[in-house]
Structure formats: structure tokens, C-alpha cells
């Protein structure tokens, strides 16, 4: 059908004036172009493919019922291929969606329905907005895999608006809190806690660590499969090596921290946290801390000790620098040093009647007649706490002598 301007729907000459005509078909989120020898042929071809589209004979894989897959069946296929420890929560999210929408075909799930589910989850107040985002992010990932397999034309999760996730306060333990925590734990349990403080390992990494991955001669612990899906080599401090040497579990278990019920199995990290670590936190009067706080403490102490952020990234096993940048605010010393390097120094101080901005009604600074030579400026004490206090420059000392 001709439209305004003499253009026909669905056909176009590309490039214009070349005599080459194309037919454009767009259906179910997919686009297809057909080349025609002339305009008349393009019109006939367009009419034919539109009829096939209405009769659902075009893109037959989209309308073949034998390829219709339920969400439960698709989630089962996806979860069978997930082996990385970093994706273990996907099994939890998959069970949730399988129970809620498992009987639905993938093509029957709509964005409107998902928005209603999101609203009900918020109304129940049993999950935080951050957690709700994780559920829908998991579903989005599952459905993106279905799109890649040609089972779904588009992702309905695109119609769901995720909640904003502000960055919370970075919690780490102070020296006083660490001392109180040590008093609240038995020597055996303190060894496991102190090892986390010395290495910054994740909960699963520590309690699944094996003796055959430890090299005390080189001071290395190998994590065969980290959260990022890569092998990671953790450098052990002297204190961490001492902790391992004092452990006797190597005589009867392949694991550094074996299960108290079965030496052939690793200790369940979550059980240790719930039954041992959290009661010790309460006894020590430490609020707002979790097991992951130990990992934050490791990184925070490294940054405050002057370790550069790139090295901290390697120690933490972060795949990108973005996660490690959260700790930069703990080390203002390197920022202060950078500012001093870019400073004009003495040139920034107006010592005569040169041009400059006026202060009040005076056009120039009035300096005492007694000229103070830079060489006569007395030495000032230099602070040494965390590198935060630096020796003042001669120019800054000179400013202190001005009226």
C-alpha cells in the first residue's frame, strides 16, 4: 500500500537511485531483508511474505509447538550447566522462579506480570530492594540464554525497573574490636577467624581450602576455582603461615578446616558463622559485622598501611579495579601527596605588592616591615601517624608568620 510521499510500505531502494530494491520484514522481534531485482518484484515479494507471516508460516521455528519450552524445563537445563562456586546462588533463584512460574511457557511470560510480582515482593517486606534486584537479575540471565537459543524473541525482564542500590558504609573491625573478638573465641575457633583476617579469603574459599593446595615453602595458597572462575594464588603472611603450621588437621583430613562430624568433608562455613562466629560477636559487643567484614578488614588494613590499590586488587582477587576502589577513601595520604606534587609551592604565596585579588578594602597584603628570610624559618615537627601528617613546606611555614 502506497503511503504519503509515494513510498511503499516495507520496500526501500538502497542506496537511493541504484535500482536495487529491498524488502524489509519485521516480526516477533526479528528483522529480515530480501533483495529484489526491481520495484515491482519487491512489491510482490513483500505481499507474499506478509501473507506467510499472518498464516504463521514464516519463521516457523517461532510457531512450532514442539519447540515450546516451559520455564521450569528451561531452568533445569540452565542450572545443570552451572558449576562455578560464584554462581551457587543461581540455584536458589532458579528454584524460586520455577516454583512461581514453572508451568508457564517462556513466550507466555510478560513484563506486566513480572512487575506485579515485583510489587508483591516489596509489599511483603521480607526481602530488601537489593535482594529483589538479585532475583530479577537471575531471571534476566536465564531468559537471555533462551534468546540466544532461539526460544524467545525478547526478554520480558526489560519491562521491569530495578531499584536503585546506594553504596552502604564499608564496615571493618578496629584493633579494639579484634582484641575483644579474640577473647570471645576459643583458640581453635580464633585460628579460623584470624586466618580470614590474615588472608582476606571468602567464606567458601577458606572452608573449602585443601592441604594439597598449600605451599608453605613459597607461602602460597592456591584457590583452584575462585568466584571469578579463575585459579587464584593467595600470598600468605608470616602470621597466616604460622597458623597453618599449628594446625594438626593435615594428619587426618584433606581440608584445612574439616567438618567435626566427618574428616573427609570440609566444615560448613555457614554453620561455623551461625554457631560460633555470630555468638562471639554478640559476646564481644560488636554490632553490624558479618563474616565478610573480616575480608573488608583485611583490605582496609592493607590500604591504611600504604599498600597501593592495584596490589590490594591482586590480594583480594577482584576481577576489576572497581570493587577495590571502595577502599581508597581509607588512604588520604596518597591523595594529599598528589596534591602537593601539583602545588605551586612558594609561587602560590604573594609576598610583595604584585597583582592579585583584593581582600576587603586593601588592594595588597600588608606585611610586617621585618622581612623574614626563608632560611630563618625554624624547623617544625613532623608527624608520623599513617603518613597523614607531612613536614610543612617552607612556604606554608612562612605563611604562619604573617600577621
Which member of 43, 93, 208, 295 is catalytic?
295
- Grid cell of 310 as nine digits: 592495584
Which member of 171, 180, 318, 326 is catalytic?
318
Which member of 202, 208, 296, 301 is catalytic?
202
48 is catalytic: no
161 is catalytic: no
318 is catalytic: yes
Q: Which residues contact 237 (CB under 8 A, 6 or more apart)?
A: 198, 199, 219
Which member of 130, 292, 310, 350 is catalytic?
292
Residue with cell 512461581: 100
Q: How far apart are the first and last CA of the chain?
A: 88
How many CB atoms lie under 10 A from the CB of residue 32?
A: 12
- Residue 205 Rama label (left phi>0; alpha psi -120 to 50; beta): alpha
What span, in angstroms and rounded, lies between the C-alpha atoms of 30 and 51? 17
295 is catalytic: yes
Which member of 43, 93, 208, 227 is catalytic?
227
Q: Encode the chain in three state secondary structure.
A: CECCCCCECCEEECCCCCCCEEEEEEECCEEEEEEECCHHHHHHHHHHHHHHHHCCCCCHHHCCHHHCCEHHHHHHHHHHCCCCHHHCHHHHHHHHHHHHHCCCEHHHCCHHHHHHHHHHHHHHCCCCHHHHHHHHHHHHHHHHHHHHCCCCCCCHHHHCCCCCCCCCCCCCCCHHHHHHHHHHCCHHHHHHHHHHHHHCCCHHHHHCCEHHHEECCCCEEEECCCCCCCCEEEECCHHHHHHHHHCCHHHCCCECCECCCCCCCECCHHHHHHHHHHHHHHHHCCCCCCCHHHHHHHHHHHHHCCCCHHHHHHHHCCCCHHHHHHHHHHCHHHHHHHHHHHCCHHHHCCCCCCCCCCECCECCCCCCCCCCCHHHCCCCCCCCCCCCCCCCCHHHHHHHCCC
Active site residues: 202, 227, 292, 295, 318, 327
Amino acid at each position: 500500500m502506497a503511503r504519503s510521499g509515494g513510498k511503499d510500505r516495507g520496500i526501500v531502494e538502497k542506496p537511493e537511485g541504484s535500482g536495487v530494491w529491498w524488502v524489509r520484514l519485521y516480526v516477533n522481534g526479528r528483522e529480515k531483508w530480501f533483495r529484489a531485482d526491481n520495484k515491482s518484484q519487491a512489491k510482490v515479494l513483500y505481499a507474499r511474505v506478509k501473507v506467510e507471516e499472518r498464516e504463521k508460516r514464516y519463521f516457523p521455528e517461532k510457531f512450532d509447538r514442539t519447540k515450546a519450552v516451559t520455564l521450569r524445563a528451561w531452568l533445569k537445563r540452565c542450572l545443570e550447566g552451572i558449576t562455578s562456586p560464584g554462581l551457587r546462588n543461581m540455584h536458589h533463584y532458579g528454584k524460586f522462579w520455577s516454583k512461581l512460574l514453572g508451568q508457564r511457557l517462556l513466550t507466555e511470560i510478560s513484563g506486566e506480570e513480572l512487575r506485579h510480582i515485583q510489587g508483591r515482593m516489596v509489599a511483603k517486606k521480607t526481602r530488601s530492594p537489593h535482594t529483589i534486584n538479585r532475583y530479577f537479575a537471575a531471571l534476566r540471565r536465564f531468559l537471555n540464554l533462551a534468546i540466544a537459543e532461539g526460544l524467545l524473541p525478547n526478554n520480558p525482564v526489560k519491562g521491569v525497573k530495578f531499584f536503585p542500590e546506594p553504596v552502604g558504609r564499608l564496615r571493618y573491625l578496629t584493633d579494639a574490636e579484634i582484641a575483644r573478638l579474640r577473647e570471645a573465641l576459643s583458640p581453635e575457633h580464633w585460628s579460623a577467624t584470624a586466618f580470614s583476617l590474615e588472608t582476606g579469603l571468602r567464606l567458601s574459599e577458606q572452608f573449602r581450602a585443601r592441604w594439597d593446595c598449600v605451599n608453605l615453602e613459597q607461602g602460597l595458597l592456591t584457590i583452584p576455582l575462585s568466584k571469578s572462575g579463575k585459579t587464584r594464588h593467595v600470598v600468605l603472611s608470616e602470621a597466616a603461615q604460622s597458623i597453618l603450621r599449628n594446625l594438626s588437621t593435615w594428619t587426618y583430613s584433606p581440608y584445612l578446616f574439616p567438618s567435626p562430624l566427618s574428616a573427609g568433608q570440609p566444615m560448613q562455613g555457614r554453620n561455623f558463622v551461625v554457631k560460633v562466629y555470630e555468638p562471639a560477636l554478640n559476646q564481644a559487643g560488636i554490632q553490624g559485622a558479618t563474616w565478610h567484614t573480616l575480608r573488608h578488614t583485611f583490605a582496609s588494613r592493607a590500604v591504611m598501611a600504604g599498600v597501593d590499590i592495584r596490589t590490594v586488587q591482586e590480594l583480594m582477587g577482584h576481577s576489576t579495579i572497581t570493587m577495590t576502589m571502595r577502599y581508597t577513601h581509607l588512604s588520604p595520604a596518597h591523595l594529599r601527596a598528589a596534591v602537593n606534587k601539583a602545588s605551586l609551592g612558594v609561587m602560590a604565596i604573594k609576598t610583595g605588592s604584585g597583582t592579585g585579588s583584593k581582600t576587603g578594602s586593601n588592594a595588597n597584603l600588608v606585611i610586617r616591615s621585618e622581612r623574614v628570610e626563608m632560611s630563618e624559618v625554624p624547623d617544625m615537627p613532623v608527624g608520623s601517624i599513617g603518613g597523614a601528617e607531612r613536614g610543612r613546606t617552607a612556604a606554608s611555614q612562612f605563611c604562619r608568620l604573617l600577621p
